[in-house]
Amino acid sequence: LASIREQPDVAKAAFSDAIRLSLAVGKLDVLMDAYLDLSETYTNRGDAPAALAELEEGLLMVSGGAGTTDSKAPKNFWRLLLALAERLAADGQVSRAVRTTRDALMHAEREESSHGRALAHRRLGMLGHANGDQHTAEQNLSTAITLFKRLGDRKAMAECLLIQAQHRPGAEDTLIG
């Protein structure tokens, strides 16, 4: 709540307490959520480096140092990895963002999470466009659209279709904005 009310110092202290307590009782899912929330707080403040640093620390803490391919990662670990991939891409570390997103996809597949798989494919599509790999981008976006359709998420489907349309030849002449 402190984060929402734009009291970042109070929010940071509360999230730091949550991190410390979740470590003490071994609740990795709570630990992961605390790092995600703390990173979002920094992002909302416009402090991208701090947001990225919190996610990287969260990855190490939640995985016990094993990293993105940790086979003992808690449920929904893909959420932490996708958030990290987004921050890495924003920081210009596109290759690392792609690797992290692929690992997020692996975890979502392991959990049989259609939502996680759809989000990972959408991110891979966006990163493919950023890398100039249109074929890979289109494959991933098409897979994301199919998964979002199965989930009934029309908004996410529309976002993927818009991303595809923006990267088609001549799109700058036909799209508004």
Tell me how far apart the terminal alpha carbons of the chain are, to the nearest angstrom.
Answer: 35
Region of 27 (left: φ > 0; alpha: ψ -120 to 50; beta: rest) is beta
In tens digits, the chain (177 residues) has pLDDT values of 445 456 667 777 887 888 888 888 888 898 899 899 889 888 988 999 999 999 999 999 999 899 999 888 999 999 999 999 999 999 999 999 999 999 999 999 999 999 999 999 999 999 999 999 999 999 999 999 999 999 999 999 999 999 999 988 765 554 444
| Predicted TM-score (pTM) above 0.85 | yes
The tokens of 140 are what?
Answer: 């991933």
H/E/C letters for each residue in 56-111?
A: HHHHHHHHCCCCCCCCCCCCCHHHHHHHHHHHHHHCCCHHHHHHHHHHHHHHHHHH
